[in-house]
Amino acid sequence: MGSKIIGLGMFAPPKTLTNDELEKLVDTNDEWITTRTGIRERHIAPPGTANSDLCLEASRRALADAGIDASDLDIVIVGTVTPDMPLPATACFLQMKLGAGRAFALDLNAACSGFMYSLSVADALIRAGRGRKALVVGAEMLSSITDYTDRSTCILFGDGAGAAVLSECDNGDGVLSCHLHSDGSLWELIRCTGGGTVNPYGPETVQNRLNFIRMAGNETFKHAVTRMVEVSHEALSRNGVTIDDVDLFVPHQANMRIISAVGKRLGVPDEKVFVNLERYGNTSAASIPIALAEAREQGRLSSGDLLLMVAFGGGLTWGSALVRM
């Protein structure tokens, strides 16, 4: 018994932050941002929003797309680094708001690889017989940990959520394989060090701006390209297929230059690479499920298609999945 994707949905808050607006906050300009990243705008949740509110909208759409009710779910997983609060899990809030009373719910922190990790865990739980239907969400409110005085990061990040419904599948299609990797020795490259046990919340944490995300962008860039290519090859060779067999390639939407470099090294033609980061920026764990929902909406992801997804993020973490839709 394996699992297959039977529903997709996404949600991004309506308000956008454009490159022109960022020019008024920090010393940057539209030309620098578009040529270095490909990003033109990102969506920002209004004050008073909880991450689980974004999850809820995306999940409702995914459940409607799947044609099932929240009460049919056995498993709810939310991949995120921006939970509603440290305790309880955002997935528990989502379970409550959805009315998924039968499901068990958990959060998973793998930064930008959060959806890849969550998909892999949900697939493994279904294969192990721990449930028949899972809701897998990648959702972030990165605006809550973005320092809008730091031009090297505030131009990158946005808010949003994407969701996929997985159901058991016994015909060998669906999720063909997932491949996950981490390297904790490089944790400092992407970090938000305030608010945990090392630097608990307090005036000093805020004074030293430890509650914001920091990134060594250039170094991260090099690791991202190498690892995303490697783990894509791993998925292809495990399944005895080549990149030519892939109908749609959905990489994590962090930077257009990373996507282009990975696509070029893998030999994927541009028309098979899904890109929407110009409108969302980097939404971390949400980027791949948002892309999947949009790809489906645009008719670029149909039943029978072979889909290759690949992500890379803080941890460091990276992963891929090959899926027959």
Residues classed as catalytic? 112, 252, 282
Stretch that binds ligand ACO, among 70-78, 149-157, 201-209, 289-297 (CB under 6 A): 149-157
Q: Are 80 and 118 in contact (CB under 8 A)?
A: no
| Host H or E run for residue 61 | helix 51-66
Stretch that binds ligand ACO, among 4-12, 33-41, 45-53, 170-178 (CB under 6 A): 33-41
Of the pair 224, 307, the CB lying nearest ligand ACO is at 224
CA distance linking residue 82 with residue 144, whole number of Å: 8
CA distance linking residue 243 with residue 249, whole number of Å: 9
284 binds ligand ACO (CB under 6 A): yes
Of the pair 177, 276, the CB lying nearest ligand ACO is at 276
145 binds ligand ACO (CB under 6 A): no
Stretch that binds ligand ACO, among 40-48, 148-156, 158-166, 240-248 (CB under 6 A): 148-156
**DSSP E strands: which ranges in the chain?**
2-11, 16-18, 41-43, 75-79, 104-108, 133-141, 159-169, 174-182, 190-191, 214-215, 248-251, 306-313, 317-324
224 binds ligand ACO (CB under 6 A): yes
255 binds ligand ACO (CB under 6 A): yes
Position of tokens 């060998």? 172
110 binds ligand ACO (CB under 6 A): no
| Host H or E run for residue 92 | helix 90-98
- What sign results for the dihedral spanned by CA atoms 82, 137, 177, 233? negative
Of the pair 155, 290, the CB lying nearest ligand ACO is at 155
Nearest distance, CB of residue 225 and ligand ACO, angstroms = 9
313 binds ligand ACO (CB under 6 A): yes
Of the pair 2, 289, the CB lying nearest ligand ACO is at 289
- Supply the DSSP string of 10-47, one letter for each residue: EE--S-EEEHHHHHTTSS--HHHHHHHH---EEE-PPT
Q: Which two tokens stand for residue 318?
A: 């990276």
34 binds ligand ACO (CB under 6 A): no
94 binds ligand ACO (CB under 6 A): no
Q: Which one of residues 97, 151, 238, 300 is an interface residue with ligand ACO (CB under 6 A)?
A: 151
Q: Which one of residues 314, 318, 319, 325 is an interface residue with ligand ACO (CB under 6 A)?
A: 314
- Count the residues of the shown chain that bind ligand ACO, applying the rule CB under 6 A: 24
Rg (CA), the chain: 18
| Host H or E run for residue 64 | helix 51-66
**Amino acid (one-letter) located at 145:** I
- Cβ neighbour number for residue 197 with a 10 Å cutoff: 5
Stretch that binds ligand ACO, among 3-11, 65-73, 161-169, 310-318 (CB under 6 A): 310-318
Nearest distance, CB of residue 219 and ligand ACO, angstroms = 8
- Supply the DSSP string of 100-114, one letter for each residue: -TT-EEEEE--GGGH
Nearest distance, CB of residue 63 and ligand ACO, angstroms = 27
Kindly list the residues in this chain that would bind ligand ACO in the complex (CB under 6 A): 28, 32-33, 36-37, 111-112, 151-152, 155, 190, 217-218, 220-221, 224, 254-255, 258, 282, 284, 312-314
